[in-house]
Structure 1
Amino acid sequence: MGWLIMIPTLVLFTFFVWEPLIESIRLSLHSARGVEIQEFVGLQNYIDVFNDVSFNAAFANTFKYIGWSLVIGFVVPIILAIFISETIRGKSFFRFAVYFPNMVPGMAVSLLWVYFFKPGPTGVLNILLGKCGIAPSVWLNNAALTIPLIVIALTWKGAGSTALIYMAGISGINPEYYEAAAIDGAGIWRRIFHITVPCILNLGRTMLILQVISVFQILYEPLVLTNGGPNNASLSIMLLVYKYAFTKYDYPKAAALSVIICVVLILLSGLYMKLTKSKDE
């Protein structure tokens, strides 16, 4: 009965995940005219990808995205979840408010932030800063600020859904812990640091690896906001796959880079699982 229930999911998973993955591996080992496979070339496409200067920039930038997302995007949902859980009135409103950006399509969110960070006096951020007497700036053309600004836009969209998951975890904490803390005279900050945070730690570990996998595949935001610029400063590895496939029409290289991404994510996930398992033991 268990297998009968799982069969539809397994069929869909095989068709939409494993079959494209196997086909990508096959394509990456051949030359092609468009998507029509021509001749076997072995690892030549992988060698060409590794020798491409754009690959080095995209690979380094992707880990910068991950780093900034851990500094900004990982902490913000936890803070939102804790403060909304500690709120006495208006919890439903705040839950909807933080989740609302997640309902907006990714492309629309990117276009929204394009106007927010628009250079010159017509950009929303520059208009707001102009009210405070601060001169306008070319935000997304600053190589040092591009990735942090994109991560802020990414966090604005996705933090709400992650916060709801943390709120569900917080609601499952035994209320007797808080009652005992209140009897002992613990204030809100002691409750948060000694009860709430330790109880959602395991959930945080799971969300951490999911966030790393998600940010590693970031595409829409750098594509729409900067197109990988300035001078490849915001080029992500998935954006490079997009450019190989739909700008240069070099599908074998795009497939080879996709396989590389898959291998890297498997290695990162395995390393993370090993480290967390050792810590739990």
Structure 2
Amino acid sequence: MKQRKKYSLQKRRLSLGGKDISGWILVIPTILLFLFIVWRPIYIGMKYSFYSLKGFTPVEFVGLENFKDVLTDTNFMQTLKNTLLYVFWSLIVGLPLPFICAVIVNELWVGRTIFKTLSYLPCVIPAMAVYLIWKMIYLEGDGGLLNMLLYYLGQEPVKWLANKNIVILLIIITMSWSGFGSTMIMYLASLQGINRELYEAARIDGAGFWGRIRYVLFPHMRGIVLLMAIRQIISVFQITEQPMTMTGGGPNGASMSLGLQMYNYAFKFGQTDRSLAVGVIMFVILIGLTVVYFKLEKKYSD
């Protein structure tokens, strides 16, 4: 009897060990890729941010000196403010419009497929081409599309991207136009997951269009809207190529972002150590936002 139990236990251990081995064989390549492509550069970047660098070679350990230089830079607070303004305007412009259009399309019975196709077309255009196209639309003088329209309406041309009060909003409009289709499709997919019987029950109870939105749609969509908002905040907080392509951070630093400042430190001014310090600051902020994202995702997935 004891021998049978011992044999059964050994067999179970071998079986579990076999499953573990096959699982590890599948997982190890992914772990190695993350280790060398993601985690190793992050570790090296954080480590080198505490050093004085010559190019990309550490010369001397300086502790928090790089962070002090970055944080006391006269342009840092303005750049941080600009980055937060990018996030703010993206939530005002880029978050509600795709949701509203998704609700409208979900109510359509005719032309839904055509509208979805037309809305998604900007997403297939290469990002850099989008920024250059919109830069031409905002172009100063008579060459820009917007100024041509103003000219035909008898109005004076406007220096769109040279206006520090609206330049961030104009860049966000460009980003929102580019990503509108994919965001709307995600909202629409979630909307179509709502049981149609709930809408029918709401209609029978006398609920109109706004009543169905309030009592059926909002409770179901609240989670996905919050998750999309957090994802958008994380994405826009890293904005770099848009202001770099359209304005170069101007006018007078009015569209400079933390991501573009980090790029300039490294490749324009040759101050790699400061660039890494800015990167670590952004990393810490984004880690906090990511923790919030996963907590919300877990809450609404459950």
1:188 aligns with 2:209: yes
Stretches of structure 2 lacking an aligned partner (at least 5 in a row) = 1-21
Letter in 2 for 1:115: M
Cα distance in 2 for partners of 1:76, 1:10 equals 39
1:71 aligns with 2:100: no
Identical columns (%) = 42
Aligned to 1:139: 160
Aligned to 1:18: 39
Aligned mate of 1:96, from 110, 114, 117: 117
Aligned to 1:157: 178
Stretches of structure 1 lacking an aligned partner (at least 5 in a row) = none
Cα distance in 2 for partners of 1:12, 1:251 equals 25
Instruction: Tell me how far 1:107 sits from its aligned partner.
Output: 1.1
CA RMSD of aligned residues (A): 2.2
CA contact (8 A) 1:110 1:221 kept: yes
Instruction: Tell me how far 1:58 sits from its aligned partner.
Output: 1.0
Q: From the superposition, tell whether residues 128 and 211 of structure 1 become closer, same or farther in structure 2 (CA, over 3 Å).
A: same
Cα distance in 1 for partners of 2:247, 2:240 equals 11
Aligned to 2:55: 34
Aligned to 1:112: 133
| Structure label with greater radius of gyration | 2
1:223 aligns with 2:244: yes
Q: From the superposition, tell whether residues 170 and 15 of structure 1 become closer, same or farther in structure 2 (CA, over 3 Å).
A: same
Q: Which has the higher contact order (CA 8 A, sep 6+)?
A: 1
Cα distance in 2 for partners of 1:208, 1:251 equals 32
Cα distance in 1 for partners of 2:28, 2:178 equals 34
Q: From the superposition, tell whether residues 10 and 87 of structure 1 become closer, same or farther in structure 2 (CA, over 3 Å).
A: farther
The TM-score with structure 1 as length reference comes to 0.93
Aligned to 1:266: 287
Letter in 1 for 2:88: G
Instruction: Tell me how far 1:207 sits from its aligned partner.
Output: 0.8
Instruction: Tell me how far 1:272 sits from its aligned partner.
Output: 6.4
Instruction: Tell me how far 1:148 sits from its aligned partner.
Output: 0.6
The Cα offsets for residues 70-129 of structure 1, whole Å up to 9 and x where unpaired, read as 111111111121112112122222212212211212111110111000011111011122
Q: From the superposition, tell whether residues 81 and 279 of structure 1 become closer, same or farther in structure 2 (CA, over 3 Å).
A: closer
Instruction: Tell me how far 1:7 sits from its aligned partner.
Output: 3.3
Aligned to 2:101: 80
The Cα offsets for residues 142-193 of structure 1, whole Å up to 9 and x where unpaired, read as 1100011111001001121111111111111111111112222333232223
Aligned to 2:228: 207
Q: From the superposition, tell whether residues 83 and 278 of structure 1 become closer, same or farther in structure 2 (CA, over 3 Å).
A: closer
The TM-score with structure 2 as length reference comes to 0.87
Q: From the superposition, tell whether residues 2 and 94 of structure 1 become closer, same or farther in structure 2 (CA, over 3 Å).
A: farther
Aligned to 1:130: 151
Aligned to 1:9: 30
Q: From the superposition, tell whether residues 196 and 247 of structure 1 become closer, same or farther in structure 2 (CA, over 3 Å).
A: same
Aligned to 2:142: 121
Q: From the superposition, tell whether residues 7 and 162 of structure 1 become closer, same or farther in structure 2 (CA, over 3 Å).
A: farther
Cα distance in 2 for partners of 1:79, 1:8 equals 43
